[in-house]
Chain A
Amino acid sequence: MTRFLRNIKLTSLLLIFTLVVGPLLGVVPAHASGGVSLYTTYTSISVPPGESLNYNVELRNNTDSMVTVPLAIKDLPKGWTAKMTGDGWDLNEISVMPNTAQSISLAVTVPMQIDKGTYHFTLTAGSLASLPLTVQITEKGTYQTELTTDQANLEGHSDATFTYSVNLTNRTAEKQTYALTAQAEPGWDVTFSADGKQVSSVEVDPGASKAITVDIKPAENVTKGTFKIPIRAANQSTNSELVLEAAISGKYSLELTTPSGLLSTDVKAGGDKTVELQVKNTGTADLTDINLTSTTPSNWEVTFNPKTIDKLAAGKSTTVEAKITSSDKAIAGDYVTDMTAQAAEASATATFRVAIKGSVLWGWIGVLIILAIFGGIYVLIRKYGRR
């Protein structure tokens, strides 16, 4: 009796020992009842959601007789799938020769949509042996799509193109085709490209991700400021949104014209004419040190007053006087004179058509000559005629 009790005590001690120490050693002789045991090296692992686990399990027969046992997985968490294969076959039952071991592959798929935590399931070989396995899910899994970028904020001029690198990750179980859309303000131009080609939709395999380049061109009349451009990858079942930011640092633009808009004038050969020019800052940022220069026909001269505009605030305009002096050898007709207002950031050119007018002085001298001749004839008539 006592021996029997001691036997039981010993057995339970051994059992406790194996149960407690076994996992620590990484060796699980499982349920060794009847000399059949299930063994795998890694019994507790940590994985992210959506991972596929492959266990190599050995079924060891320590008895002297052949053992045939049915294989099953118990307590598999909801949504998980498991599959046992041996030599490429799906297994339901397995036979093991005396004192030998047989390998089994166990493939377990962790679903995408899963909470963080520890999950347990057990591989059983009939009632002879069982192998408890533990899987720790390191993060909360999502059954959805992810649109991410490292750098969602870019800064540039209004005429720059903003290029964002975006990753589209498909965390669903199926292959998904996403339509790519952007909700930009009117006038903004958003293009998506993948693999170097411009696209409007992309196909992503489950668990895979795709690099997408988003090019954003701001509207022509954009003002200084930060603009949010939400982009979206969506289909019927899943979607994801990401907000990109474009910080416009201001637009530099200059316009040179006249108050009336008339870009032509006339001047006498060798004479001069003063034209009023209007320099307009049509950008959204201030301009400094605007220089006025000119390209003229040879021996012409254009002097500006003032020659340099120190500062011109955005949207403001100022007038400059340009004195055009023509060459005294200029011939009658039209000449081209370019006037340029140039700042470091922007420049504007006004092309003037300057008509040279011949001097009327010789015309009047001609008239005087004719009058003198008529006078002479009149004198002749007075002298010789009427007699």
Chain B
Amino acid sequence: MAKNNNRPVIHARHLTRIYRLGDSEVIGINDIGLDIAPGELVVLKGNSGSGKSTLLSLIAGLDRPTHGFLNVADHNLTQATSPDLTYFRRKVVGMVFQSFNLMPTLNVLENACLPGLLAGKSADQVTSKAMGLLDWLGLSTRWNHLPAQLSGGEMQRTAIARALINDPDIILADEPTGNLDSRNGQIVVELFAELNRNWNRTVIIATHSDIADSVASMTICLKDGAITDQTCDI
């Protein structure tokens, strides 16, 4: 895929998401302007409730902004239809979650294959790709284990395999180390750094810890739903 290093892969203007709860309104994010170039490793920081997850969910195409404009990898997400969004989620982004969110009834390999199969790729092709990823992640001997039989670190690595199976340009991780001990957290952060460095993926890690600070090429601080210029004191 040809990359245009000058055009930002993520481009947001006045991006706002307001949640309506009955009569009251809660601000998720408010009037955010943002440009992220391809190949960055962004650490998104901020206190709990500052809007990190809200921003990620918009970038991931899981939610729509209340106002503003958002373009991700040449997809205008403010105007995308539902099939556009599906295509976008399948091809453009891969997601990693705090609590892994693996399918409990599927084994490691099947979990890793899932997005590929959902995207309609052939099972053989997806399986060999997944085996390669699991090998790289050190899970090749565990491919037929169920999530319940894995440690937290192993589960998160399975989730990373799943996020990579469709070769997305952008990896979005929401608090990926939140449920891991520091050693496993470190391993996961290393993996993201490697993805960014060697595979040239754009990675956004939302976290309120400083575990990923050392690998960040860019840090964005959120406070009360807006980007602040102050240093991120959490």
A and B co-occur in one complex: no
